[in-house]
Amino acid sequence: MLVKNLPASSPGPAAGTLPGTDLSQNAAVLSKLISYVGQITPNEGLDESKLPLLWMLYVQLIHTGCQEGNAPVQSLNILLSHLNGFISYKPSWQLLSAIGLKKQTIVSNKCRLLCKSLVSFILTQLPERIEGEPESPTMSSQYIRQQSGAPGHLTSNSSDLVPSPEALKSVSQLEQLASDKNYNDLKPQLELALQCIRDPNYSMANCHHFVIKLAKRLYIEGYIYIFVFFDGD
């Protein structure tokens, strides 16, 4: 498994770059990542601290697809479904776990916070058109915010693009974690996530920055720090 076997000392790609610049190669890598994501579920042997590396590459490849005119919404929906699987995961009661012969699989609050934050971030980049507004040929499909200050953000005053109800609900649920005692020790990370999500300068273009920036606040594993984006961290 890609995530499980990633060595802690393996060299990463150059700062902010993809494994390759060939578009067909990037598309092939994304196709493999989609397959991997479909196989990764909470389990006893999963090192969740390596998941951000997978998600970072996934969203960066999707952004590349956006730039080349591909339709990445389906790929984003696959990722959102994958993330929601970790958020909603509840371990089933097992006899071996109950008597101590097998470890119970859990999803840590760190992982849940990262998943919830990434879901909110992505949904914020998928605004919807105001009902009744005519669609132009270039806006007939899902609009994706791909650059700083793009319309449709939470703070945008765009006349034709607004945050979707799903995005508003997701951000609201994320904000509510501030009063959840289970996340008391993660308040600085939560505040960082909300700060980035509310910032209109963030878009799918720097979603990978967001993933690693937050992961570096949540996990101490060294391989996360091989990804340096010169953002002052």
Closest residue by Cα to residue 194 from 88, 83, 79, 113: 113
- Rounded average pLDDT over 82-92: 88
pLDDT above 70 as % of the chain: 71
Q: Tokens 């609050």 correspond to what residue?
A: 109
Whether 22 and 171 have beta carbons less than 8 Å apart is answered as no
pLDDT digits (tens, 9 = 90+) for 138-189: 444 788 999 999 999 998 887 789 999 999 999 999 999 999 999 999 999 9
Gap between the Cα atoms of 70 and 91, Å rounded = 38
User: What is the C-alpha radius of gyration for the chain, rounded to an integer number of angstroms?
Assistant: 18
pLDDT digits (tens, 9 = 90+) for 36-82: 888 888 876 788 888 999 999 999 988 887 655 555 788 999 999 99
Give kind and range of the element (H or E) at residue 152.
Answer: none
State the pTM of this model. 0.81
Q: Is the pLDDT of residue 99 over 60?
A: no
